[in-house]
Amino acid sequence: RVLSLDLNKDRDVERIHGSGINTLDIEPIEGRYMLSGGSDGVIVLYDLENLSRKSSYTCKALFSVGRSHPDVHKFSVETVQWYPHDTGMFTSSSFDKTLKIWDTNTLQPADVFHFEGTVYSHHMSPIATKHCLIAVGTKSPKVQLCDLKSGSSSHILQGHRQEVLAVSWSPRHEYILATGSADGRVKLWDVRRASGCLSTLDQHNGEKSKASSEAANTAHNGRVNGLCYTNDGLHLLTIGTDDRMRLWNSSTGENTLVNYGKVCNESRKGLKFAVSCGCNPEFAFVPYGSTIAVYTIFTGELITMLRGHYSTVNCCVFQPHFQDLYSGSKDCNILAWIPAPREPLPDDNSEKSLLQQHLNPAYEDAWSSSDDEG
């Protein structure tokens, strides 16, 4: 299905943003509601479900925090994220130096955290049960940890030398955090340890001869502006302004040396890329100019370039239930990429019924398990 991803002519996402779209997030519970954040500070919430049951439909915006909203972000929204455990809450952070915790039902901020510098990125752990920490990357080299329970940003992780452009919690270990900085370094932290980071990833795997002492322990020869764990948490993908993407073994910190070729990346801020979930092999979807490059993660092969945006793509997000992809761009559009239906094999009925379900939305929820039939 992923190999046949194509721009969907029958599915539109309602156009609300009047400026570029920087960030998208789909809630992990039903995979039905999507948030977007724009460079004008606006946040929009969409329903991706096809309620009309027509084959051609538009994903409607349910509501938005628009320019006239009293609590709208003053500047560009760089990251939006759903609270991982229910859709009653979401978070947003912005160049206006704030992180806001929103009540979805009232569209009012339940809490606001203020920082000294621009906020590039924030992330809540998808699996944490023992803590409610939001990691925040800002213009300061210090990584901030904000505690949702106490409402304070007490913890600080020190070690980077320049601004922190990307942060990501491990989907495997709830206290492990990865951070990427303009200093070219990627650090892994156990946030329970006060003494400093667990490790600093080294693109040369410790072979000092290849690296001058200055370049030692850098993950990239440029700013690191994107991080994404594979779904099992065993590997970490990083992307830098040296036009490279690297895959790391997240437990040993080793560079796996997978070669993705040149991955053009001119972003001056964080770049939001995505990985597939439940596919074999797994794929990475990386904004690449006005296109999205699709790579197989473990071989580095460039499978395809998804073309459809008119301007720079800033973010993409994967919907694992249907293997759909959504992307947001400077052109103010959100595009839906869905697997193209395959031609049915004449003698294979199961293939045919799957295809009908795929083509005819009326079949969408008509699943029955064989247990019920018996």
- The residues spanned by each domain of the chain are 2-355
Closest CA to 127 of 85, 86, 74: 85
H helix or E strand, kind and range, residue 356: helix 349-359
Radius of gyration of the chain (CA): 21
What is the pTM assigned to this prediction?
0.89
Question: Token match 């009293």: residue?
Answer: 70
Are 98 and 117 spatial neighbours (Cβ–Cβ below 8 Å)? Answer: no
Are 325 and 5 spatial neighbours (Cβ–Cβ below 8 Å)? Answer: yes
CA 67 from centroid of its chain's CA atoms: 25
Amino acid 354: pLDDT:
52
pLDDT tier at 283, thresholds 50, 70, 90: very high
CA separation for the pair 249, 133 (Å, rounded)? 24
pLDDT score of 305 more than 60: yes
Amino acid 358: pLDDT:
54
Amino acid 374: pLDDT:
44
Count the helix, strand and coil residues of the chain and give each as a percent rounded to the nearest 5.
Answer: 5, 40, 50
CA separation for the pair 224, 282 (Å, rounded)? 22
pLDDT tier at 154, thresholds 50, 70, 90: confident
Q: Which long-range contacts does 127-131 make (Cβ < 8 Å, 24+ apart)?
A: 127/84, 127/169, 127/171, 127/172, 127/174, 128/169, 128/174, 129/174, 130/174, 131/174, 131/175, 131/191
Amino acid 350: pLDDT:
54
Are 315 and 334 spatial neighbours (Cβ–Cβ below 8 Å)? Answer: no
Question: Which of the given ranges, 122-131, 215-224, 360-369, has the highest pLDDT on average?
Answer: 122-131
One-letter amino acid at 129 equals T
Are 202 and 222 spatial neighbours (Cβ–Cβ below 8 Å)? Answer: no
Q: Does domain 2-355 have CATH number 2.130.10.10?
A: yes
Quote the DSSP letter at residue 354: H
- Between residues 345 and 96, which one has the greater pLDDT? 96
> Is the previous residue joined to 126 through a cis bond, with omega within 30 degrees of 0?
no
pLDDT tier at 90, thresholds 50, 70, 90: very high
- Between residues 361 and 207, which one has the greater pLDDT? 207
Amino acid 184: pLDDT:
96
Are 239 and 221 spatial neighbours (Cβ–Cβ below 8 Å)? Answer: no
